[in-house]
Structure 1
Amino acid sequence: MSPGSFAEYTVVPASIATPVPSATPEYLTLLVSGTTAYICLKELGGLKEGKKVLVTAAAGGTGQFAVQLAKKAGCHVIGTCSSDEKSAFLKSVGCDRPINYNTEHVGTVLKREYPGGVDVVYESVGGAMFDLAIDALATKGRLIVIGFISGYQTPTGLSPVNAGTLPAKLLRKSARIQGFFLNHYLSEYRASMDHLVKMCTSGDLVCQVDLGDLSTEGRFTGLESVFRAVDYMYMGKNTGKIVVELPHPVNSKL
């Protein structure tokens, strides 16, 4: 957890490094995505057995953890995704009701199957999905914003939200919206990371990695493939956390 990205090497103080049992890509999924889901739901989710939890982009890097952690808390979990393959993955990690938004309308499914609404939404898409999630909230429901990928490529970085009707919708349901940014919860980071590493090592947590094997040009290898990996993510192709492999230099010296 230090500034810098898309580099072969980085230097960090030992005090902020996390020891892992082995140098496998699964542990990379925990650094931001896993801890975001864990701390966010622990601190803000108010999860209890029987609660209904909606996770958007549920088969993505952080969504996969929100699904599993909510399920472990005894909740009924609904997850949105973009393909039948992702729906199958979500079922395999405990999602009770995957919704492939390319074959089913999310709003229609939520109204029909959850007429009383959902108690918690873990939202990372923004735009139209955000509006659907607001409409799906139950009385006293809460929506937690951890990102808005639909707006990351716009000039302002913001996606359209129907803010004009938002106050009335929240008032009618005594609902709430709250943002979550991991940097504001770093006091919880070390303990959370240690806990997640143990869960991953014991097999109690699936840490799905997408190395790009199914992308058009194959696996993401080397810094030159980073742009392909980013495009792959924006196209919604990934299942789990995207990882770019960096070949080990043959004659490198420290």
Structure 2
Amino acid sequence: MDIGKPEEGETVVVSGAAGAVGSLVVQLAKISKCRVVAIAGSDQKCAWVKSLGADVALNYKASDFRSAMKSACPSGVDVYFENVGGSSAEAVFPLLNDFARVVACGMIAHYEADGGMAAGNPLALYSPQIVIKRIHIQGFICTDIIPKFPVIIGKLVGLVMKGKLKYKMDEVVGVENSIKALAGIFQGNNMGKRVIRMSEQPAVMPMRQFLMLKARPFVVGAFAAVTAGFLAKSRKK
């Protein structure tokens, strides 16, 4: 929110929209009264993202993806939340408006390429537009906001408790399957937050029930303690 600065009525595009991060961004953008165009990797994922409130959900694997993206953004793109890179970014960058904001949270399409960057890097392809349109691009890593964790977690938990924020656990059973589960994220076969369930035994208490039992002070307190410890160690260094 601090980097993208979405305003009511603006068009926000979210790549990787069916993932753990992207699905939350879609919902937060809708809470901010923005028009949301979501990008995902299958029709099933697109249907789920639409159920979260996205105005439009596009499958980037479709043959008409680029033309569909252009049609979905007749007034251009004001905010682009980047999780993927690759063909998604190549379709979105030409549509960015003057003074658009790009929140670069991930580039998963490029992580395994030589030197960490695949051919067709959108930043290289569209660098003149970045200058001419005065586009603001900023990288985002969650450790940058560790001091804000208690406040952020408190707000997110509050939205979950009010039913305004939905989440999906993509469970893989058995720690022996953890490597396969992690690799699956890079192959795009997860939907929501991928987690490892240690055994077939069900959780003692569903997450929503846990939150509804006024666990928010505990969650926020735990994050505050972790944050304080991290900052203390950082100062010593």
Q: TM-score, normalised by structure 1?
A: 0.73
Report the 3-state secondary structure (helix = DSSP H, G, I; strand = E; otherwise coil) of the residue aligned with 1:131.
Answer: helix
Give me the whole-angstrom Cα distance separating, in 2, the residues matched to 1:170 and 1:156.
23
Partner amino acid, structure 2, of 1:228: K
Match of 2:4 among 45, 48, 54: 45
Counterpart contact for 1:107–1:136, Cα < 8 Å: no
Match for 1:175 among 129, 135, 147?
Answer: 135
- Between the aligned partners of 1:121 and 1:52, the Cα distance in structure 2 is 9
CA-based RMSD of the aligned residues comes to: 1.9
Question: Which has a greater percent of helix?
Answer: 2
Match of 1:205? 165
The answer on 1:62 being equivalent to 2:21 is yes
Q: Deviations over 1:94-134 (max 9, x none)?
A: 00000012225332122233243110000011233223222
Question: Is the 1:68–1:94 contact (alpha carbons within 8 Å) kept by the matching residues of 2?
Answer: yes
Stretches of structure 2 that go unaligned for 5 or more consecutive residues are 202-237
Question: What secondary structure sits across from 2:197 in the alignment?
Answer: coil
- More displaced 10-residue stretch of structure 1: 137-146 or 64-73: 137-146
1:83 equivalent in alignment to 2:67 = no
Show CA shifts across 1:121-159 (max 9, x none).
Answer: 000112332232221211211111001111222343333
Q: Are the aligned partners of 2:58 and 2:69 in contact in 1 as well (CA < 8 Å)?
A: no
Which whole-Å deviations, capped at 9, do the CAs of 1:32-74 have from their partners, x for residues lacking one? xxxxxxxxxx211111110000000101110000000000100
Distance (Å, rounded) in 2 between the aligned partners of 1:153 and 1:109: 28
Amino acid at match of 1:93: L
- Report if the CA contact (8 A) 1:200-1:206 is conserved: yes
Q: Does 1:228 align with 2:180?
A: yes
Q: What are the residue-to-residue correspondences of 1:1-40 with 2, within 5 Å?
A: none
Residue 49 of structure 1 aligns with an amino acid whose one-letter code is E
Specify every segment of 5 or more residues in structure 1 that has no aligned partner in the other structure, as ranges: 1-41, 212-219, 250-254
Aligned length: 200
For residues 111 and 83 of structure 2, the distance between their equivalents in structure 1, rounded to whole angstroms, comes to 11
Distance 1:159 1:240, change over 3 A: same
Where relative contact order (Cα < 8 A, 6+ residues apart) is larger, the structure is: 1
Amino acid at match of 2:183: D
**Distance in 2 of aligned mates of 1:196 and 1:139:** 31
Letter of the 2:80 counterpart: V
Q: Does 1:113 align with 2:65?
A: no
d(CA) in 2 for partners of 1:69 and 1:111?
23
CA contact (8 A) 1:208 1:239 kept: yes
